[in-house]
Structure 1
Amino acid sequence: MDEKTAINEAPPASEQPVKARTRKVRKYPTCAFSDALELANAIHKNAGNQQIRRITLFDLIGKASESGPSRTWVTNTAKYGLITGTASSEFLKLTELGYQIVSDESSLYQKAKAKIDLAVLGIDPFNYLYTTFRGNKLPQHAVLTDALDGQGVDIEDRAAVIDVFIVNIEHTGLLRNLSGAQRIIDVGHALEGLPDQRPQSSQLPIASTSQSLAGTVTSGNSHFDGTCFYITPIGEDGSEQRKHADLFLGSIVEPAIESLGLKVVRADGIDTPGLITNQVIEYVLNSKLVVADLSFSNPNVFYELALRHAARLPTVQIMRKGDKIPFDISQFRTVVLDCSDIYTLVPMLDTYKAEIANKARKALEDSESLENPLTAMYPNLRLTR
């Protein structure tokens, strides 16, 4: 058979077999352990140590059981070993260690040991990083990234995996500020001094599972889709507020957000002509992400934050330690940064950047989890243009 005949006899493109798409399967969780722990707490609150229907559980906590974020939440919680079941299972149940962590019957030692086992030692890339750098100062991101070569972590996932690792070792007490630096310590050191007796009363509060029905609004503008607007008290040149805003922007917020591919813009950095008040509102309502600094209890910051809450858009709240979080938003998570002196702040910079990046990534990927005082009270509230 000649080449011409072979070409003529080839089936048309429409009849060519279509290669089935394959979904990427990650063996490691993509959220912080504390986020997965919220689902475990919800199961414990509503079912104790018994199994519960997945649909019933999500109905009780006010979330859609079949939504993408809800299914990812279940998947990540199962990967941590907190629960049995999958995103498609009829029933979910706490594992033995999962129940030990959330149960009032466990001692502080038992809870802490189980958290370390599940959040760090039980996850291959986290365990590898921990055993590799245990006893040393927390390495730079670039060093941690290089260390993940050959560990089965996709290149595009490595920044997120490292952020989650840092957040997890801090959450479990394996990362401590010693001798002026953040150091990764031994498990025995982390557990030292914790009582191994059952408490007489509840030691740990159950995480809030308040209703969240937020919906993401997109601007449809390529400029804003690549923008993170930084809401912060700026103050006059040379003032404490200006120095604070400059320090947080350049040393913490920008480095944390740049891994997400977003450009951080502050009000005084808006380079388009127009009335500044209108421009600020435009950025608040259209930027893909907002980081709001609640330090100094600045009224302009809270006004702009309220607008962002009403728009139901991804937001991360930060604040310097020592300032009081207003009651109305105190129940919503805020990254607190201790900048009381340089000796306290500098060793914690990488940890703070990881926490902010992790919360920003979660806010962008899981819009249904967005909660604020407005969405909690008025889940159907919507801004219209």
Structure 2
Amino acid sequence: MEGIERGNQIESKSETTPVKKKRRTRKVRKYPTCSFEDALALAKAIQKNSGNQKIRRITLFDLISKASESGPSRTWVTNAAKYGLISGSSSSEFLQLTDLGHKVTSDDFSEYEKAKAAISLAVLDVETFNYLYEHFKGNKLPQHAVLIDALEDQEVDSEDRAAVVDTFIVNIEQVGLLKTLSGAQRLIEVDHALEGLSTDGAIQRSTSLPAATGQDYSGIITSGNSYYDSVCFYVTPIGEDGSEQRKHSDLFLGSIIEPAIEQLGLKVVRADGIETPGLITNQVIEYILNARLVVVDLSFSNPNVFYELALRHAARLPTVQVIRKGDKIPFDISQFRTLVLDCTDIYSLVPMLETYKAEVATAARKSIEDCDSLDNPLTSVYPNLRLTK
């Protein structure tokens, strides 16, 4: 009886002892989650405001009109540090450019030195990107799925692999390690990429990468509708059947936009693909103001497209702008990022398809995940402008 009683006592005690819950651990990624160009914008802001000297993190973000403690700002700092552009973290009191970060953002170095530093920071010094580069160097750019499979043995979460591949492709294209040779995009040697660049003194021009500017926004409007939250609306000049505009729109939709966006789990819808009955103008506006993402094709300078883009800008929702090479971007939006896609002929387009898809997917991810950091003509002038329903 005594043994039974003891057993019961022990059992009773175990029943009343609270079970400790396992603490949730934050996922730590060794690789950046944005393109080198996006991270470089923060380094350029440091260069502009403090040169090669350290600067208080809070002061820096105040100077560029962003909230230092916001999620996007902290992620921005983390990514810049992962690229080796800066020393310091999202919780550091001070931030400072590294030697390579200073070199790539300063005009005191030659074109050759800046390009070499950019290659190191964007690709060679990032373990995951360097692995892909060394694995495929000297060959044609593989299909997206092949690059994803190559990460199988790397410490990259399966759900992150598509984004990592997109970022890798964008980076090697931006720093000159991806070139079109003999009708195909190829990963070239570093020495090849640096050939012909000036080694004489400081360069007299700035890079084409944008400086860090913008406003701190108060939030993102969401549709509150599960259907729209899974939709990317494609705003484009459609034209009549058989017209140049229709052929262009079909080509961009089927070969670039859909393959790029569908990997994000979104369904791409164009105005002529809206299935529900109703007045088309009203339906288009519903999609513009509610879709999770909108991709706007500025080709052909179509006035309806610009009207719809203005509505999306007013809503301050995730937007990606694209345009075919050769068409002029209007002045009012020329200061804001637009992806230029060369479809001059089949020989220009086909070799670049994988790169264009990666650029669109990368821009879409950034727009969705960090919408507050993206400026447009309306929010630049009226940062507190909001639409209400």
Do Structure 1 and Structure 2 share a fold, with TM-score over 0.5?
Answer: yes
User: What amino acid does structure 2 have at the position aligned with 1:67?
Assistant: S
Contact 1:53 1:92 in 2 (8 A): yes
Deviations 1:154-203 (A, max 9, x none): 10100000000000000010000000000000000000111111136344
Please say if 1:7 is aligned against 2:8.
no
User: What amino acid does structure 2 have at the position aligned with 1:108?
Assistant: E
Deviations 1:36-67 (A, max 9, x none): 00000000000011000000000010110000
Matches within 5 A, 1:98-117: 98-117=101-120
- The CA distance in 2 between the partners of 1:115 and 1:358, in whole Å, is 19
Matches within 5 A, 1:142-291: 142-199=145-202, 201-204=204-207, 207-214=210-217, 215-291=219-295
Give the structure 2 partner of residue 90 of structure 1: 93
- The CA distance in 2 between the partners of 1:260 and 1:319, in whole Å, is 21
Please say if 1:330 is aligned against 2:311.
no
Deviations 1:57-90 (A, max 9, x none): 0001011000000000000000000000000000
Pairwise CA distance, 1:19: 1.4
Pairwise CA distance, 1:292: 0.2
The count of aligned residue pairs is 384
- The CA distance in 1 between the partners of 2:15 and 2:76, in whole Å, is 44
C-alpha spacing 1:234/1:129, structure 2 compared with 1 (3 Å): same
Please say if 1:315 is aligned against 2:319.
yes
User: What amino acid does structure 2 have at the position aligned with 1:143?
Assistant: V
Unaligned runs of 5+ in 1: none
Please say if 1:356 is aligned against 2:367.
no
- The CA distance in 2 between the partners of 1:300 and 1:48, in whole Å, is 44
Pairwise CA distance, 1:207: 2.8
- The CA distance in 1 between the partners of 2:70 and 2:82, in whole Å, is 18
Q: Give the alignment's TM-score, normalised by structure 1.
A: 0.98
- The CA distance in 2 between the partners of 1:109 and 1:76, in whole Å, is 25
Contact 1:285 1:307 in 2 (8 A): yes
Pairwise CA distance, 1:213: 2.6
Give the structure 1 partner of residue 56 of structure 2: 53
Say which of 291, 306, 310 aligns to 1:302. 306
Contact 1:180 1:343 in 2 (8 A): yes
Contact 2:111 2:203 in 1 (8 A): no
Contact 1:102 1:206 in 2 (8 A): no
Unaligned runs of 5+ in 2: none
SS for the counterpart of 1:222 is coil
SS for the counterpart of 2:227 is helix
- The CA distance in 2 between the partners of 1:151 and 1:95, in whole Å, is 27
Contact 1:41 1:206 in 2 (8 A): no
C-alpha spacing 1:220/1:203, structure 2 compared with 1 (3 Å): closer
Pairwise CA distance, 1:211: 2.1
Please say if 1:124 is aligned against 2:123.
no
Please say if 1:347 is aligned against 2:351.
yes
Q: Give the alignment's TM-score, normalised by structure 2.
A: 0.97
- The CA distance in 2 between the partners of 1:12 and 1:239, in whole Å, is 75
Pairwise CA distance, 1:216: 1.0
User: What amino acid does structure 2 have at the position aligned with 1:276?
Assistant: I
Pairwise CA distance, 1:11: 4.4
Bigger CA drift: 197-206 or 319-328?
197-206
Bigger CA drift: 200-209 or 122-131?
200-209
Give the structure 2 partner of residue 75 of structure 1: 78
C-alpha spacing 1:112/1:356, structure 2 compared with 1 (3 Å): same
Q: Percent identity?
A: 70
Contact 2:300 2:327 in 1 (8 A): yes
